[in-house]
Structure 1
Amino acid sequence: MKVFSTSVFYMMNILKIIGMICLAIVMLIISVGVISRLLGRPLLGVIELAEIFHFFVIIFSFGYTQAKKEHIAIGLLVDRYSPKVQLIFDNIAHVLTVSVCIVITYIFFLTSMEETKTTLLLDFPFMILKIIVTIGFFVWGLVALSQISFKTPPSEKEVSSDV
């Protein structure tokens, strides 16, 4: 299990680094676009290129957000239960996340092989975008899978004695 978690961690970190590079590229593209417009020579395709790199940043951030447990979660109801029940709800949420990620990965993988459309201005192939979705959701699913806990949580007496 340790090898699996380490492998998932490395995949997630690779996507995180690619996402940060894409974010820097977006900043550069937008800056160049603004400067070129100020000089009276607007560049064609700047907005579309920025949108494509934004897409990369968003898709590659899913797994990282899952790993940091920063996705929106509503603990209002669950927090009132014992740690054991909370663990069960957390595991159910992780299993549902893995299931949704598997379905999306499968669908986008199959449809990416048939994709022939491109973007309007730059002719960037949608196939690449669908492959990026496949990779992003695959890693997100792996991160969620690695977070499923098979350990029993501490009892309420152990938790209250620690405080």
Structure 2
Amino acid sequence: MQTFNRLTGWLVGGLKAGGGLCLVAMMALTCLDVVLRVAGKPLEGAVELVAWLGALVLALALPQTQARQGHVGLMSLVKRLPRRPSLVVQILAALGSLALCGAAAWQCWVYAGQLAEGHEISMTLGLPQHVLARVVSLGLGVTCLVIAGQAAALVKKAVRP
């Protein structure tokens, strides 16, 4: 389990760094576009690139947010329950999250395949659309790994007397 957590942590850190780079690129591109618009020479495709970068930031930040348990949780309900029922609720919530996240990751991957087969590209810059869907699927997949690790830790905690 320790190796799994280490590997997952490495993946989360890599995606977090990629998301941070996308965020910096988004800011730099927006600033550059504003300056160039004032000069009368706006960047073609800047809005499209900023939208892509925003989607990448969200997809790459999901695993880190889950690892830090930054999502809205059931804690107000769970805090009032005794230890074992609280752990059962948390395990069920984790398993439900894992199922939903796994289904979303799988469907994003399938959709990316359809986009690739259809040679779908973005309107202004002609970027291949399937790449964005693959990265979103990757972010969701790593989020599944994080949730699985958290669920395993909860089960271990529940089994321990």
> Given the two structures, how large is their TM-score scaled by the length of structure 2?
0.90
In the alignment, the residues of structure 1 paired with residue 159 and residue 90 of structure 2 have an alpha-carbon distance, to the nearest angstrom, of 12
Aligned to 1:122: 125
SS of residue in 1 equivalent to 2:114: coil
In the alignment, the residues of structure 1 paired with residue 38 and residue 74 of structure 2 have an alpha-carbon distance, to the nearest angstrom, of 46
1:70-112 CA-to-partner distances (Å, cap 9, x unmatched) read 1011333222101222211111111111111211121121221
SS of residue in 2 equivalent to 1:139: helix
2:139 alignment partner, one of 124, 128, 136: 136
In the alignment, the residues of structure 1 paired with residue 98 and residue 160 of structure 2 have an alpha-carbon distance, to the nearest angstrom, of 25
In the alignment, the residues of structure 2 paired with residue 144 and residue 127 of structure 1 have an alpha-carbon distance, to the nearest angstrom, of 25
1:87–1:153 contact (8 Å) kept in structure 2: no
Report how many residues are paired.
155
In the alignment, the residues of structure 2 paired with residue 42 and residue 89 of structure 1 have an alpha-carbon distance, to the nearest angstrom, of 53
2:157 alignment partner, one of 128, 137, 151: 151
Q: Name whichever structure is richer in helix by fraction.
A: 2
In the alignment, the residues of structure 2 paired with residue 76 and residue 65 of structure 1 have an alpha-carbon distance, to the nearest angstrom, of 19
For the aligned residue pairs, the C-alpha RMSD in angstroms reads 1.5
**Which runs of 5 or more residues in structure 2 are unaligned?**
none
Over alpha carbons, which structure has the higher Rg?
1
User: Percentage identity across aligned positions?
Assistant: 24
| CA deviation after TM superposition for structure 1 residue 153, in Å | 8.1
- Of 108-117 and 65-74, deviating more is 108-117
In the alignment, the residues of structure 2 paired with residue 107 and residue 152 of structure 1 have an alpha-carbon distance, to the nearest angstrom, of 32
Aligned to 2:71: 71
1:14-72 CA-to-partner distances (Å, cap 9, x unmatched) read 00000001000001000000000111111111111111111110011111000001101
In the alignment, the residues of structure 2 paired with residue 15 and residue 100 of structure 1 have an alpha-carbon distance, to the nearest angstrom, of 20
1:127-161 CA-to-partner distances (Å, cap 9, x unmatched) read 00110111010000100000012223888xxxxxx
1:66–1:143 contact (8 Å) kept in structure 2: yes
Aligned to 1:159: none
**Which runs of 5 or more residues in structure 1 are unaligned?**
156-163
Aligned to 1:105: 105
- Of 63-72 and 114-123, deviating more is 114-123
